[in-house]
Amino acid sequence: MIVLGIETSCDETAAAIVADGKEVRSNVVASQIDLHKKYGGVVPEIASRAHIEHLDVVIEEALCVAGCDAHAVDALAVTNRPGLVGALQIGVTAAKTLSWAWRKPLIGVDHIRAHAISPMIDLDESPWPAVGLIVSGGHTSLFDIRSTVDIKLLGATTDDAAGEAFDKVAAILGLAYPGGPSIQRAAETGDASAIRFPRTMLKHGSLDFSFSGIKTAVLYHVHGHGKTSGGLAKLSPQDISDIAASFQQAVVDVLVRKTMLAVAKTKRSTVVLGGGVGANRLLRDSLQVICADHGLAFHAAPKPYCTDNAAMIAAHGYHLLRAGMTSDLTLDAYPTGSLV
Ligand code: KG4
Ligand code: ZN
């Protein structure tokens, strides 16, 4: 069964063709990073306009690379939550139009659920049930994933998402947007034990997260608490690398510890990792090592399916379609997710 996936929830215009929920025939992503870079973050109105300009070309390319046409497509899956509402509406309107014109079923997909199941793309065997750590620019969540359509939230961020913390700390350090890859690069030559930034665990046994404290700690470390500010100008490239490495280590420590706590609570024997921050090398390697030490299976989403893409939307759409969970032409866009 062939599903065309469409993704426009934030700053990536994406379309993909996926067969049977796992075989990715095309995965086209038009990134808007260059448009938003100078503002240090995503500007919603610019994102919506760019989606309008690029979406039809991106869909055509996805069909062309996969070597298929409208007749070969069995269904359309589109992200309809959570995200920037104006941006989501572009994808939802396009998918509804194609669903009506091609007379093919329409499936509304929750972006975070799609990130949660993305580690199964390219796997021969289904990894469920599993604990899922899904870390993106807008969300930091732990899930008990029992199947592709049965996902229970175990814990989530109470303030900044992990990716948001990477982006904000990169801005404090004068590093380029998006912050995750910039911090990872700077950290390569840094000493991760140079500064002991806080590891916020919240109350005993909690599976929730908080990353606003560490962001403030980095801000104070760079600028000082008062008028005696050091400031970015006084930091050497080595200082910046040390701060980046120490920050990255602190965030990864919290994510790994909480994931292992979720494993202990659920008694699952498999861990999966997805979302943009899931592309982080230290996080991938640390989870790999700790899972091996504890005899757990570990699957990280392949890197192209960590950051925003439509392959995961098509893959999740396939499973919803099989479960009869289709949408109709009243499908709307929502800023919030369906997992609470
Ligand atoms: O999943 P995603 O592409 O979009 C959302 O759904 O939010 O995640 C984007 C986030 C950004 O905050 C970006 O800085 C972060 O993922 N990110 C990384 C890395 N690559 C992207 N964070 C840490 N290390 C990376 N290598
Ligand atoms: Zn995402």
Domain borders along the chain are: 2-117+305-322, 127-301
Q: Which pLDDT belongs to residue 41? A: 81
pLDDT in tens, 190-207: 999 999 999 999 999 999
Produce one character per residue of 135-165: b if its CB has 16 or more CB atoms within 10 Å, e if not: bbbbbbbbbbbeebeebebbbbbeebbbbbb
Separation CA 58–CA 51 (nearest Å): 10
Length of the chain as a residue count: 340
Q: Which residue of 13, 188, 307 sits with most ligand 1 atoms within 8 Å of its CB, as the best mutation to test the pocket?
A: 307
pLDDT above 80 (res 227): no
> Which among 277, 283, 308 is the best mutation to test ligand 1's pocket, defined by most ligand atoms within 8 Å of the CB?
277
Give me ligand 1 centre to Cα 249, in Å: 16
The pLDDT value given to residue 233: 86
Choose which residue among 166, 255, 309 to substitute to test ligand 1 binding: the one with the highest number of ligand atoms within 8 A of its C-beta. 166
Residue type, 29: V
| Radius of gyration for the alpha carbons in the chain, expressed in angstroms and rounded | 20
Q: What CATH class has 2-117+305-322?
A: alpha beta
Does any ligand 1 atom lie closer than 6 A to the CB of residue 247?
no
306 pLDDT above the threshold of 90:
yes
Fold: same for 2-117+305-322 and 127-301 = yes
Residue 16 has pLDDT above 50, yes or no: yes
β partners of residue 19: 2, 23
89 band by pLDDT with thresholds 50, 70 and 90: very high
- Residue 312 confidence (pLDDT): 98
Residue nearest to ligand 1 atom 6, measured at CA: 136
Split at pLDDT 50, 70, 90, the class of 229 is low
Which of the following CATH numbers is that of domain 127-301: 3.30.420.40, 2.20.25.570, 2.40.50.140, 3.40.50.12780?
Answer: 3.30.420.40
Q: At 225, is the pLDDT very low, low, confident or very high (cuts 50, 70, 90)? A: low
84 Rama sector, left if φ>0, alpha if ψ -120 to 50, beta otherwise: beta
Digit-coded pLDDT (tens) for 122-156: 899 999 999 999 999 999 999 999 999 999 999 99
For residue 89, give every residue at least 6 positions away whose Cβ sits within 8 Å of its Cβ, in sequence order, or none.
48, 333
CA of 282 to the centre of ligand 1 (A): 14
Helix (H, G, I), strand (E, B) or coil at 30: strand
Q: Is 163 in the pocket of ligand 1 (CB under 6 A)?
A: yes
